[in-house]
Structure 1
Amino acid sequence: MLHTRRSFIESAALLPVAAATGLPAASAPAVPAPPIARLGGPHLKPAVNAYSFLELLNANAKDKSQGLDLFGVCDFCAQLGSDAVDLTGYFFPGYPAAPDDAYLVRLKRHAFDRGLAISGTGVRNDFTAADPAVRAEGVQRIKTWIEVAAKLGAPTVRAFADSQAPFRTWQQASGNATREDVEHWMADALRECAVHGQRFGVIVAVQNHGDFISTGPQHLALLDRVNHEWCAALVDTGKYLTPDPYADIALAAPYAVNWQVKETLGSSMDSPRTDVRRLVDIIKRSRYRGYVPIETLSMRRRGYDARVEVTRLFGELRDAIGSSR
């Protein structure tokens, strides 16, 4: 099944060439391998990613009288009418170490009392790094937070498929290794994480972040290389850097277990704004059933107010879910 998907991805890349030259494309498989099984039709549950409150959470970490903590984020999401909250690991006390169980129990109950599910969490990792120790550190971090997620009742842990600071690109991080070699490094690391995830009932959700993974075919090719049912896609709608990101989103959607719905189809306010109704139609056509978290970013906006922007984008998503075909 997964081999068929890789064959589809590779042959799909040749379709524009076939169209331009008049060569037949009949040798390409008609469809990719079967996606995640969905029953009962699409069912989208709007949610909020805590990273939207980055500045407020960082302010609170420095001064408890300022900003918001994760409990405050849950309160805001409940008042907003969100179905769930995605609690990014960076904002837990002691990160990257796991917080103590007493904190997790208290936060889990706090979210439950407000009618919120915890849709996921996430950490920083760099599996594009040439240094095996850096990759091993990322594996151990994800394993640790898989266990945190299990205690919280969260179904997914987000893993990056791209380079992290101090590196700016995967080529720099890998020492200019070939894409094939880097994909092997990443797949081996993600597979080890997925095995651990299976033990605890937590899916490793691999996020495209506009570096090593900047297209839908690249996203699926990596998952194909991992070849483990507990490793799937987290679709970041703002990080497919192609002429038609909606096509990439549509390609990856059948393999998604989590989302980050962004305000724009890029990394700045100069990028095209996301057509939320069009996006929701794409997600529904994939028959996705689950949480769809939004994530807003300051993107160097003066006077950025997370409460205002989250409320606005969440409202757009909720309205689109209610009115789309």
Structure 2
Amino acid sequence: MKTNRRDFIRKSAIAAVGMGMVTSCDTSSKEKTTTEKKKARCNPIGVSTYSFWQFNGPKENAPIEDCIEKAAEMGFDGIEFLLVQMQSEENGYLQKLKRQAFHAGLDLMGFSTHQGFVYPEKEKRQAEVEKTIHQIELAYQLGIPTMRLNTGRWGTIESFDELMANKGIEPVLEGYTEEDGFKWVIDAIEQCIPTAEKCGVTIGLENHWGLGRTAEGVLRIVNAIDSPWLRVTADTGNFLERQYEQLEMLAPMTSLIQAKTYFGGGKWYTLDIDYRRVAEIFRKVNYRGYISIEFEGKEDPMTAVPKSLEMIREAFTYEV
């Protein structure tokens, strides 16, 4: 049976009324609907396994498997693995962790590694390049999309405690200059970029002492290499001066935020970080990625980490 156009429109209108699809011309009703549609949005929040260990005692005291379960119970969205905390680099172990995190409802969202390229000896730098390429491949096996990278440091202050007491500043190695150091780091990281691209792992150079102690140093390296596979891991606790200014400089290039908290007082120092201000800095550049909490205080992580989550979630929640 044929249905003419007029009948079709009439029947469609009747159906729309029945389904509540006809809109009202009442302005107040529209405003009410608009208000009701407003909702809160928050960046996804993860936690570093470092938060449960902090290098306090043997790593066996804080196995990654336990960290996964604790993070899930506390309500995190994801978890960042600290490589040196892992029990093995064998593929079977990596896949077991990946499966456990998936069943716990957690993203594997960050991989925190250690390396350094500030060595005069080419052989040492090359060994660090090969180590870093291997670490990128581990991130790929785990399905982790971003990996923390360090520049390394001069090593003229041997004790880390002493380095922290000196605000991360150390003398340049005798006979060399900072220019030498930047050249070594840039050349080394450039060699890692093809593997990062092949594996789909974004390298995030962290503001983490050495030549990366300042935003200027980090950006000098990132801009010189100029690759979409090299970005920044912005650590809120590693700027001991001009903190917000330097975070603002890094924000447009940031692939992951590491948010330090210090409940119970910091291990080396305590920073009073205004996380609402930090959140606003990153919101201005439309950063929608993960925040990874790194608890570095003396309080028991089982009480301090949930408090950290509550504080960071509140700061990074906003209306849309």
Name the TM-score, length of structure 2 as normaliser: 0.77
2:71 aligns with: 77
Instruction: Kindly indicate whether residue 88 of structure 2 is the aligned counterpart of residue 87 of structure 1.
Output: no
Deviation string 1:228-247 (CA, Å, 9 cap, x unpaired) is 221111111111232x2111
Larger radius of gyration: 2
Percent identity reads 25
Deviation string 1:203-238 (CA, Å, 9 cap, x unpaired) is 111111133222222221111122222111111111
Q: Using the TM superposition, give the Cα deviation of residue 171 of structure 1 relative to its aligned residue in structure 2, in angstroms.
A: 5.9
Moved over 3 A (4+): 55-60, 164-176, 266-272
2:309 aligns with: 314
Q: Using the TM superposition, give the Cα deviation of residue 176 of structure 1 relative to its aligned residue in structure 2, in angstroms.
A: 4.9
Q: Tell me which amino acid in the other structure corresponds to 1:258.
A: L
1:294 aligns with: 293
Partners of 2:111 and 2:301 lie apart in 1 by 19
2:45 aligns with: 46
Q: Tell me which amino acid in the other structure corresponds to 2:212.
A: I
- Which structure 1 segments of 5+ residues have no match? 1-41, 62-66
2:271 aligns with: 272
> Equivalent residue of 1:118, what SS?
strand
- The one of 75, 90, 110 equivalent to 2:100 is 110
Q: Using the TM superposition, give the Cα deviation of residue 179 of structure 1 relative to its aligned residue in structure 2, in angstroms.
A: 1.5
Q: Quick check: 1:235–1:252 contact (8 Å CA) kept in 2? A: yes
Q: Quick check: 1:43–1:284 contact (8 Å CA) kept in 2? A: no
Q: Quick check: 1:130–1:175 contact (8 Å CA) kept in 2? A: no
Residues 1-325 of structure 1 aligned to structure 2 (within 5 Å)? 44-55=43-54, 58-59=57-58, 61=60, 67-94=61-88, 99-163=89-153, 167-168=157-158, 174-242=173-241, 244-263=242-261, 270-298=269-297, 301=298, 304-323=299-318
Q: Using the TM superposition, give the Cα deviation of residue 102 of structure 1 relative to its aligned residue in structure 2, in angstroms.
A: 0.9
Deviation string 1:134-181 (CA, Å, 9 cap, x unpaired) is 222221111111111111110111111232768547865744522222
Partners of 1:230 and 1:179 lie apart in 2 by 25
Q: Using the TM superposition, give the Cα deviation of residue 58 of structure 1 relative to its aligned residue in structure 2, in angstroms.
A: 4.5
- Which structure 2 segments of 5+ residues have no match? 1-40, 159-167
Instruction: Name the CA shift for 1:75/1:277 in 2 (closer, same or farther; >3 Å).
Output: same
Q: Tell me which amino acid in the other structure corresponds to 2:227.
A: H
Deviation string 1:52-81 (CA, Å, 9 cap, x unpaired) is 1225885452xxxxx331011011111111
Q: How large is the RMSD of aligned CA atoms in angstroms?
A: 2.5
Q: Tell me which amino acid in the other structure corresponds to 2:66.
A: G
Partners of 1:251 and 1:54 lie apart in 2 by 31
Instruction: Name the CA shift for 1:192/1:116 in 2 (closer, same or farther; >3 Å).
Output: same
Q: Tell me which amino acid in the other structure corresponds to 2:145.
A: P
> Equivalent residue of 1:240, what SS?
coil
Partners of 1:55 and 1:187 lie apart in 2 by 30
> Equivalent residue of 2:138, what SS?
helix
Q: Tell me which amino acid in the other structure corresponds to 2:305.
A: V
Instruction: Name the CA shift for 1:155/1:167 in 2 (closer, same or farther; >3 Å).
Output: farther
Partners of 2:74 and 2:57 lie apart in 1 by 22
Q: Tell me which amino acid in the other structure corresponds to 1:307.
A: M
